[in-house]
Amino acid sequence: MYEYEIQQLRAAELIRQAENERMAREIVRGRRAARREAARREAEGEVHTGRPRRHRFPRTA
């Protein structure tokens, strides 16, 4: 009987641990999605031509 109770406690602890890990992954996933969304919204307002504004080296005479 005692061994059965220990097994039940261990199973309940494993279930709690798995739920905590699931919640942590979900939080990380949500934060990552929020960062991507913020970066996407920020990038929509900017126009990038893909070339630098100034020449890298000055022109020679």
Residue 55 has pLDDT above 80, yes or no: no
d(CA 33, CA 27): 10
What mean pLDDT do residues 40-56 have? 70
Per the structure, the complete domain to which residue 36 belongs is given by 22-47
| Mean pLDDT, the chain, integer | 87
Residue 57 lies in a domain: no
What is the reported pLDDT for 44?
74
pLDDT at 57 over 80: no
Q: Is residue 26 part of a domain?
A: yes
Nearest Cα to Cα of residue 36 among 44, 48, 24: 44
In a domain, 37, yes or no: yes
CA distance readout (Å), 23 to 1, 9, 26, 39, 58: 33, 21, 5, 24, 55
How confident is the model over 22-46, as pLDDT tens digits? Answer: 999 999 999 999 999 998 888 776 6
Position 19 scores a pLDDT of 98
Number of domains in the chain: 1
Q: State the virtual CA torsion across 20, 36, 34, 16 in degrees, nearest 10.
A: -10
